[in-house]
Amino acid sequence: MIDASNAEGRGAPVYSLVIPIFNEEAVLPLLVRRITALIDTLDASAEAIFVDDGSRDTSVIFLRGMAAGDPRFKLIELSRNFGHQIAITAGMDAAAGDAVIVMDADLQDPPEVVHDLIAKWKEGYEIVYARRVKREGESLLKRLTASLFYRVLEQMTSVTIPRDVGDFRLVGRKALETFKRMPERDRFVRGMFGWMGFKQAAVAFERPVRAAGETKYPFWKMVRLAVHGIVSFSDKPLRLALWAGLAVSGIAALLGVFAVFSWLFETGVVHGWTSTVVIISFLSGINLFMTGVIGLYVGGIHAEVKRRPLYVIDRLTGFEEAIAAMSGDEATRGRPPASRERRFG
């Protein structure tokens, strides 16, 4: 059983909802209504932290008003669009609750499911993820690619990343503190929670359609997320280079033997050209592909060694008490402790 009075002892809410926002003006009024209804029915105090990920519409104006008028609502404005995974990270860094729930803004992660997540958490699970059993109204392409992605990822990675699970989940304080100690840039949040272990459980839900607005995950963004997921959790593509190289050398050796025999027995004299071209283009293809794979990892290393902060906060609303305590550290995650700087103001 979890002691739900922990956070309240520190004057903090028990539950923190973290909601990334990128150009969601169409859905915000409805979202806020549903979130308020949710908070009212929870069994303990809660805060809702909205993270504006550099929206270019009126989302921010709406949210500032909300955060200024209701102490349960808080707003973190990032200085530009940092991407969904980083926005989630910024919100989790600021969460004060004993249980942190991450959910999408478009109500595809239904607020009511949060009750089920909390029930599981109270049974003693540190991480409770919501598994989509049905995806309504998403295009066939999206469903196919999503399903392919989860299956490829399962094959390629050594950590268990649960299937059909997005970022809709509840994490307890222990998991949250572990997460905060993971400074990697290339953030694939669901993989990071898979990696850390702890007692994990799933809650099933049917994923409805987006309540309003359009997806902020166009096809190419999903491909990028998929590649990041694989590259940051698997070195199989690198090892593939070894086996592909071996296989190609084997084939080349056989072709060599064949060439010698053809020359010895003078069968069909001048068809050397075709085979040469085939071999050369095949080999350069493999070469280029593998260079690309290595490039992905080298690029990852390059991004890590720069040790830049993960995100930059432009403005906070509703964090009055927390701001003093944060004193800039949390705003610039991922730096070595000695060189932390104040970043927001």
User: Is 23 near Mg ion (CB under 5 A)?
Assistant: no
Which residue from 47, 53, 106, 186 is in contact with Mg ion, where contact means CB under 5 A? 106
- Piece of the chain touching Mg ion by CB under 5 A; list 32-40, 108-116, 223-231, 237-245: 108-116
Q: Shortest distance, CB of residue 29 to ligand UDP, whole angstroms?
A: 15
Q: Shortest distance, CB of residue 278 to Mg ion, whole angstroms?
A: 46
Residues at the contact surface with ligand UDP, assessed by CB under 6 A: 20-22, 24, 53, 81, 83-84, 87, 104-106, 108, 215-217
User: Is 108 near Mg ion (CB under 5 A)?
Assistant: yes
**21 touches which of Mg ion, ligand UDP, none (CB within 5 to 8 A by kind)?**
ligand UDP
Nearest residue (CB) to ligand UDP, 7 versus 95: 95
**98 touches which of ligand UDP, Mg ion, none (CB within 5 to 8 A by kind)?**
none
Nearest residue (CB) to ligand UDP, 14 versus 18: 18
Nearest residue (CB) to Mg ion, 22 versus 73: 22
Nearest residue (CB) to ligand UDP, 105 versus 176: 105
Q: Shortest distance, CB of residue 21 to ligand UDP, whole angstroms?
A: 5
**310 touches which of Mg ion, ligand UDP, none (CB within 5 to 8 A by kind)?**
none
| Per-residue three-class SS string for the chain | CCCCCHHHHCCCCCEEEEEEECCCCCCHHHHHHHHHHHHHHCCCCEEEEEEECCCCCCHHHHHHHHHHHCCCEEEEEECCCCCHHHHHHHHHHHCCCCEEEECCCCCCCCCCHHHHHHHHHHCCCCEEEEEEEEECCCCHHHHHHHHHHHHHHHHHCCCCCCCCEEEEEEEEHHHHHHHHCCCCCCCCHHHHHHHCCCCEEEEEEEECCCCCCCCCCCHHHHHHHHHHHHHHHCCHHHHHHHHHHHHHHHHHHHHHHHHHHHHHHCCCCCCHHHHHHHHHHHHHHHHHHHHHHHHHHHHHHHHHHCCCCCCCEEEEECCHHHHHHHCCCHHHCCCCHHHCCCCCC
Q: Shortest distance, CB of residue 77 to ligand UDP, whole angstroms?
A: 12
Rounded to whole angstroms, the Cα distance separating 41 from 210 reads: 23
**47 touches which of Mg ion, ligand UDP, none (CB within 5 to 8 A by kind)?**
none
- Which residues 6+ apart lie within 8 Å of 308 measured at CB? 185, 334
Nearest residue (CB) to ligand UDP, 84 versus 120: 84
Residues β-bridged to residue 100? 16, 171
Q: Shortest distance, CB of residue 17 to ligand UDP, whole angstroms?
A: 12
Nearest residue (CB) to ligand UDP, 47 versus 53: 53
**99 touches which of ligand UDP, Mg ion, none (CB within 5 to 8 A by kind)?**
none
Nearest residue (CB) to Mg ion, 25 versus 104: 104
Instruction: Tell me which residue of 274, 280, 345 sits closest to 314, measured CA to CA.
Output: 345
Q: Shortest distance, CB of residue 75 to Mg ion, whole angstroms?
A: 20
Nearest residue (CB) to ligand UDP, 217 versus 297: 217
Residues that bind Mg ion (CB under 5 A): 104, 106, 108
